[in-house]
């Protein structure tokens, strides 16, 4: 396989707070190939959004990258100076945020916001950038683009705003789009529209996608591969079909079991006992061990980096075979 | 059939948008948002009724009208056959309690759990004064929290724990009816499961009747006996849960079900489940309010507002408000079957 488009290596993000340093992202590695869609899944506070923001140097203060590399096209984005990074941000890599109302500029017409990228990054004239904006609006399915281009964000519905965000993200024909919970704030029927739109745009433009979400079903429908995060670490990666069929980390298994499945109704939902650890503390042993049904003595000491598991996948669990066995006995998905 | 515990008839709830002096002086027309636009609903004792729909469809407003947080513009709400007035007796209020969506804003941040629960127990004289503490302990145990939680403030809890406190507060008054408004949608998936299991468990142990308001179809399928689907202030379909999921008759329900992302990887269809955005509840479409987005829409749908109807001869177990709910999807010329005569 040729070089991946994006490769995150041992990324660490720290947030210094009065009560101690929060290790929000603690040694995360993954890669995304050209045109690939990777889902980054986990519960709130697991560091998935922080990872995504760190890639483009968009961390909120006082969070900082403490070590690690983000390789994009042979260059390390972490080591890059702010100015050249700005030329990549929005041009080669763009981002879609969860809440379009707060991410869009409320006092700027949406057409101008879409045209801003092509003007700034591609040096297009105002006129051609405007034409490009209309073309993009048509592409993302905004009806009557000429009129809508003159609207302000508050005049549009949630779904339309998210379409505007997607148009902005696509405006400079990037190689990679980072999506941070793009549909979480939307209703199901609108979520369905936006996800289908993302799928068809991927097919049309061949853009690669990293999709951060807490919704496993969204990943199942839109991604090729996934990385599951827990307490600042990636605990499992693999192709979506493989991981759903046979999770090899107990956290992945627990997460999948606790989602009320639309197609299979169980008497009572499985849940993961306990709560995620506080990321200020230092860890001894596997971070999931206190909540894990398969935990043994050997889980309580040492470190648990990702290692290669059967089928070209990676898991951090040393008892992954037991976990896979449990999934074989009682499959997670009804008919994968 | 025994008398339903809760009965709602012809409920309307309208919010005036520009009820100001300037408007009156200018004699401009009054704009109203029709949050609930004629809803009938029944819940039998011990039943869990799910109310689903997208944001802005009026489901939360309906829940709030039921527990008396809003005074409906029109319509009647009966509890055990008794008509409830706008100003309810304390003894009536006690019997209907609510769990809110956001456990971060629905608990008083400056009161400990003991104060929150204790106040309720004393005001409603649920137990003798000296037994208040014991009862608080009991309630916490019921919702799976330790007695240590009693002197903690809401900020010291995680989201799931806060929701447990909210539930403890709701059941403290021994209600007959629990209205749960999106009780798990603010929580993480693994925590959602524990709270849903807790609600199921309490329902069995305390014999609760529940109105569960949710937008997550999978959650509803797991918890509810019967489901009503709302769209723009109306109930468009009601059926037993399994019936609704396996045999949805309203095109909106069908689209809603199709739109839910599934756990099975790689089974995506290209087609979008429901096109377009919901219209504004200030300016409702004529005829059937779903027709601008409906793939089946015909002339009759633009003209006539369909009433909830059951299949010919069948009981009122499955109701759908569509002109073509019980006939085959129409060819060019559709027979006009269910004509709504009500205004």
**Per-residue pLDDT tens digits for B7-19:** 999 999 999 888 8
Residues 6+ apart with CB under 8 A from B156: none
Per-residue pLDDT for A54 more than 60? yes
* Distance (Å) from the alpha carbon of B238 to chain A's nearest alpha carbon: 18
- Residue ranges of alpha helices (H) inside chain B are 21-26, 59-67, 90-94, 113-123, 132-142, 159-171, 189-206, 217-223, 241-246, 251-259, 299-303
**β-pairing verdict for B6-16 and A313-315:** unpaired
> In angstroms, what CA-CA distances link A107 with A100, A150, A162?
14, 11, 17
| Rounded Cα distance, A25 and A66, in Å | 10
Beta pairing class for B209-214 and B177-181: parallel
Q: Is the pLDDT of residue B341 over 60?
A: no
Q: How distant is the Cα of B308 from the closest Cα of chain A, in angstroms?
A: 23
Give yes or no for a cis peptide into A62 (omega within 30° of 0): yes
Give the per-residue pLDDT at A323.
92
From B332's Cα to the closest Cα of chain A, the distance in A is 27
CB neighbour list of residue B227: distance below 8 Å, 6 or more residues apart: B49, B50, B51, B52, B220, B238, B239, B240, B241, B244
The predicted-structure confidence for B267-285, as pLDDT tens digits, reads as follows: 667 788 888 888 888 888 9
Cβ-Cβ contacts under 8 Å, A217 against chain B: 260-263
Cα A80 from Cα A65, distance rounded (Å): 12
What is the pLDDT of chain B when averaged over all its residues? 88
**Confidence at residue B105, expressed as pLDDT on a 0 to 100 scale:** 87
pTM for this one?
0.86
Q: What percent of chain A has pLDDT over 90?
A: 74
* Tens-digit pLDDT profile for residues A308-332: 988 889 999 999 999 999 999 888 7
**Which residues on B lie below 8 Å from A268 (Cβ)?**
197, 200
Integer angstrom CA distances of residue A302 from A286, A314, B161: 8, 18, 31
Alpha carbon distance B225, B43 (integer Å): 10
Least CA distance to A141: which residue of chain B?
B276
Q: What is the pLDDT of residue B190?
A: 80
The mean pLDDT of A27-52, rounded to a whole number, is 93
* C-alpha separations of B97 from B47, B68, B166 in Å: 15, 10, 10
Query: Which residue in B255, B261, B277 is closest to A159 by CB distance?
Result: B277
pLDDT value at residue B340: 42
**A160 with B219: Cβ contact below 8 A:** no
Predicted confidence band of residue B315 (pLDDT cuts 50, 70, 90): low
What ipTM, to 2 d.p.? 0.82
Q: How many CB atoms neighbour CB B292 within 10 A?
A: 17
Write the pLDDT tens digit of every residue in B246-268.
Answer: 999 999 999 999 998 888 876 66
CB contact under 8 A, A263 and B263: yes
Which token pair is A274?
A: 């306990």
Q: For residue A269, which residues of chain B lie inside 8 Å, CB to CB?
A: 193, 196-197, 222
Q: Which residues pair with B83 in a beta bridge?
A: B78
Per-residue model confidence as pLDDT tens digits over B39-50: 999 999 999 999
Quick one: pLDDT band at residue A225, thresholds 50, 70, 90? very high
Task: Report pLDDT digits (tens) over B86-121.
Answer: 788 888 899 999 999 888 889 999 999 999 999 999
In this complex, do B259 and A191 lie within 8 Å of one another by their Cβ atoms? yes
Closest chain B residue to the Cα of A46, Cα to Cα: B188
Q: First-to-last CA distance in chain A?
A: 27
Give per-residue pLDDT as tens, B182-230.
Answer: 998 888 888 888 899 999 999 999 999 999 999 888 889 989 999 999 9
Chain-centroid distance, C-alpha A92: 17
* pLDDT surpassing 90 at residue A92: yes
Distance CA B226, CA B52 (A): 11
B261 to A217: CB separation less than 8 angstroms, yes or no: yes
> Which of A43, A222, A275 lies closest to B189 in CB terms?
A43
Residue B338 pLDDT more than 70? Answer: no
Which residues of A fall within a CB distance of 8 Å from B278?
187
- Residue B265 has its nearest CB partner, among A44, A191, A240, at A240
Name every chain A residue with its beta carbon within 8 A of the beta carbon of B277: 157, 159-160, 190
d(CA B169, CA B178): 11
Q: Which residues of B touch A (CB under 8 A)?
A: 54-55, 158, 160, 188-194, 196-197, 200, 215-219, 221-222, 255-256, 258-268, 270-275, 277-278
- pLDDT for residue A117 is more than 80: yes
Q: What is the pLDDT of residues B31-76, one digit of tens each?
A: 889 999 999 999 999 999 999 998 889 999 999 999 999 999 999 9
Nearest residue in chain B measured CA to CA from A254: B190
Q: Which residues partner with A228 through β-bridges? A: A41, A236
Cβ-Cβ contacts under 8 Å between A and B: the total is 133
């Amino acid at each position: 396989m040729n070089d991946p488009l994006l490769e995150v290596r041992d990324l660490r993000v720290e947030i210094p707070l009065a009560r101690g340093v929060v290790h929000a992202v603690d040694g995360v590695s993954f890669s995304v190939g050209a045109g690939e869609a990777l889902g980054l899944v986990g519960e709130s506070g697991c560091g998935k959004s922080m990872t995504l923001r760190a890639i483009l140097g968009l961390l909120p203060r006082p969070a900082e990258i403490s070590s690690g590399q983000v390789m994009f096209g042979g260059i390390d984005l972490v080591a890059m100076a702010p100015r050249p990074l700005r030329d990549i941000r929005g041009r080669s890599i763009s981002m879609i945020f969860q809440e379009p109302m707060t991410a869009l500029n409320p006092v700027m017409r949406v057409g101008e916001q879409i045209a801003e990228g092509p003007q700034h990054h591609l040096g297009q004239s105002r006129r051609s950038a405007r034409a490009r904006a209309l073309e993009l609006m048509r592409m993302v399915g905004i009806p009557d683009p000429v009129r809508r281009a003159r609207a302000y964000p508050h005049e549009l519905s949630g779904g339309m705003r998210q379409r505007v965000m997607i148009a902005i993200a696509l405006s400079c024909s990037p190689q990679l789009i980072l999506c941070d919970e793009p549909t979480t704030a939307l209703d199901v029927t609108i979520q369905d529209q936006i996800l289908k739109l993302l799928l068809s745009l991927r097919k049309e433009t061949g853009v690669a996608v990293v999709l951060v979400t807490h919704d496993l079903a969204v990943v199942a429908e839109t991604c090729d591969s996934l990385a599951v995060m827990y307490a600042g670490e990636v605990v499992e990666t693999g192709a979506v079909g493989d991981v759903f069929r046979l999770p090899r980390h107990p956290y992945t298994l627990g997460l999948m079991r606790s989602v009320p499945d639309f197609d299979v109704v169980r008497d009572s939902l499985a849940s993961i006992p306990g709560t995620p650890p506080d990321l200020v503390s230092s860890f001894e042993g596997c971070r999931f061990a206190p909540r894990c049904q398969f935990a043994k003595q050997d889980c309580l000491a040492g470190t648990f980096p990702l290692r290669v598991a059967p089928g070209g996948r990676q898991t951090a669990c040393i008892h992954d075979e037991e976990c896979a066995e449990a999934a074989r006995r009682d499959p997670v998905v009804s008919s994968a | 059939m025994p008398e339903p515990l809760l009965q709602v008839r012809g409920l309307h709830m309208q919010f005036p948008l520009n009820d100001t002096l300037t408007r009156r002086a200018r004699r401009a027309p009054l704009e109203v948002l029709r949050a609930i636009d004629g809803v009938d609903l029944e819940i039998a004792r011990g039943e869990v009724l799910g109310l689903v729909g997208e944001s802005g469809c009026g489901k939360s407003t309906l829940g709030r009208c039921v527990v008396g947080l809003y005074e409906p513009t029109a319509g009647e709400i009966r509890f055990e056959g008794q008509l409830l007035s706008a100003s309810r007796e304390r003894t009536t209020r006690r019997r209907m309690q609510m769990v809110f969506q956001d456990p971060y804003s629905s608990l008083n941040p400056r009161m400990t759990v003991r104060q929150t629960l204790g106040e309720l127990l004393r005001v409603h004289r649920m137990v003798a004064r000296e037994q208040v503490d014991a009862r608080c302990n009991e309630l916490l145990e019921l919702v799976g929290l330790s007695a240590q939680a009693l002197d903690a403030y809401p900020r010291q809890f995680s989201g799931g724990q806060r929701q447990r406190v909210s539930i403890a507060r709701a059941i403290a008054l021994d209600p007959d009816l629990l209205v749960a408004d999106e009780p798990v949608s603010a929580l993480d998936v693994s925590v959602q499961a524990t709270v849903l299991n807790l609600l199921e468990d309490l329902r069995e142990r305390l014999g609760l009747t529940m109105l569960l308001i949710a937008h997550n179809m999978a959650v509803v399928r797991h918890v509810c006996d019967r489901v009503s689907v709302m769209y723009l202030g109306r109930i468009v379909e009601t059926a037993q849960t399994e019936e609704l999921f396996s045999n949805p008759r309203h095109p909106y329900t069908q689209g809603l079900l199709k739109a839910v992302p599934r756990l099975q990887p790689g089974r995506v269809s290209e087609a979008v489940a429901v096109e377009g955005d919901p219209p504004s509840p200030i300016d409702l479409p004529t005829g059937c309010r779903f027709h601008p987005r409906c793939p089946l829409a015909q002339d009759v749908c633009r003209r006539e507002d369909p009433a909830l109807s059951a299949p010919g001869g069948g009981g009122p177990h499955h109701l759908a408000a569509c002109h073509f709910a019980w006939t085959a999807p129409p060819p060019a010329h559709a027979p006009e079957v269910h004509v709504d005569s009500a205004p």
